[in-house]
Amino acid sequence: MINFYHALAGFSGVSFMASTEKTERPSELFIDLHVKYIQSLDTKKDDLEYWLTEHLRLSGVYWGLTALDLMNNVDALNKEEVVKYVVSCQHDNGGFGGHIGHDPHLLYTHYAVLILQIEDSLDAVNVEKIVEYVASRQDRQTGAFTGDEWGEIDTRFSYSAISCLSLLKRLDAIDVKKATEFIMLCKNFDGGFGSTPGAESHAAQIFCCVGALAIVNSLHLVDADLLGWWLCERQLKNGGLNGRPEKLEDVCYSWWVLSALSILGRVHWINKEKLTDFILTAQVSFTHLFMIGNFHLKALLLTA
């Protein structure tokens, strides 16, 4: 069993890539260490600037909370405080910012709804205003969604909008047909999806597009065999997954790739044993900070 401080130090590293340095491969997931790690973020002494930089604190809360939820430990964060904090991020137009005083944005609006759903506290906010805000992000001509009033377009936002409204049971507020059309414009020759029409296929964008299509019952538009193959081709000899051909593997792709495959009913096309090995080894090296707590847990549960 690895020393507690060694493991915690590993998680606290401000690094950006999963490393598969040669290290003793643990045989288990250190659940209690992960819980302690997430809780430890709630102290003033912590300086995990990259993980919880102010503008995305709301996302940080979601990733921490959902990781705890997976470990059956949602109460490790105080529910009342979480809800109060989320509420304080809402603007008059219904959108949520990444933190108090930050401009509203579709991404954080989605995160807010996800958190409130986990905490069963949607009644704490003005839901109708949220619906209005999300709907206002859709360009009715192209079906695409902008992240905010400044106009950035990306299929990440299509997913955020569709997922958010689906959770609120208000998909009627947008033009679903047009939204679907735009997503399909982002489908590429290799069966994958990019951020905008013509953009390179990327595992994270594929997760967004496949997820969105699944929610609106349009998975039949995807060539599941072709895309499934593209996704399982992400697995490298060391068992890890990359996000695009000829790129390096990273733990976060376990989430994007596996969840997309899972939606397509083809998660078994990934070699589970080799991926598990890779993830558990990455557990004790430097990693993407907030992602490790959630992504790899979700990945392991998907392959369990």
Partner 1 sequence: MSFENYDWSDVVPIEQDDGPDPLAQIAYDPEYSKAMGYFRALAQKNEHSERALTLTEKIIEHNPAHYTIWHYRQQILFSLNKDLYEELDFIRNQVEQNPKNYQLWHHRQVIVEKLKDCSLESSFTEEVLNDDSKNYHAWTYRQWVIRTFNLWDNELSFVEKLLEKDIRNNSAWNQRYFAIFYNPTKPSEEFLEQEVQYGITKIKLAPNNISPWNYVKGVIAKSKLKIDVLEELCKTLYQQGIISPHALGCLVDIYEDRAKCGSINEKELGIQTCILLAEQHDTIRQKYWNYRKHVLTSIA
Q: By the criterion CB under 8 A, which residues form the site for partner 1? A: 41-49, 52-57, 60-61, 64, 77-78, 81-82, 84-85, 88, 97-98, 100-103, 105, 148, 150-152, 188-190, 194-202, 228-230, 232-233, 235, 237, 239, 244-247, 268-269, 271, 274
Tokens of 71: 């470990």
Shortest spacing between CB 287 and partner 1, in angstroms: 17
With respect to partner 1, which residue has the nearer C-beta, 95 or 168? 95
Q: Given the complex with partner 1, which of 71 and 168 has the nearer CB atom? A: 71
E strands, 82-172, are none
Least distance between partner 1 and beta carbon 236 (Å): 8
Nearest distance from residue 105's CB to partner 1, in Å? 7
- Complex with partner 1: residue 34 or 215, whichever CB lies closer: 34
Q: CA–CA separation, 283 vs 19, rounded Å?
A: 9
For the CB of residue 228, give the shortest distance to partner 1 in the complex, in Å.
7
For 86, half-sphere exposure in the C-beta direction (CA atoms, 13 angstrom radius) is 31
Give the number of C-alpha atoms closer than 13 A to the C-alpha of residue 49, restricted to the C-beta side: 0
Least separation in angstroms between residue 55's CB and partner 1 is 5
Residue with tokens 């033009």, as numbered in its chain:
175
With b for 16 or more beta-carbon neighbours within 10 A and e for fewer, the 123-162 pattern comes to: eebebeebbebbbbbbeeeebbbbbbeeeebbbbbbbbbb
CB-nearer residue toward partner 1: 198 or 217 = 198
Closer by beta carbon to partner 1, 53 or else 126: 53
What is the spatial distance between Cα 289 and Cα 153, in angstroms, rounded to a whole number? 27
Contact in structure between 106 and 118 (CB atoms under 8 Å): no
**Residue closer to partner 1, measured from CB, 202 or 288:** 202
CB 161 to partner 1: min, Å: 17
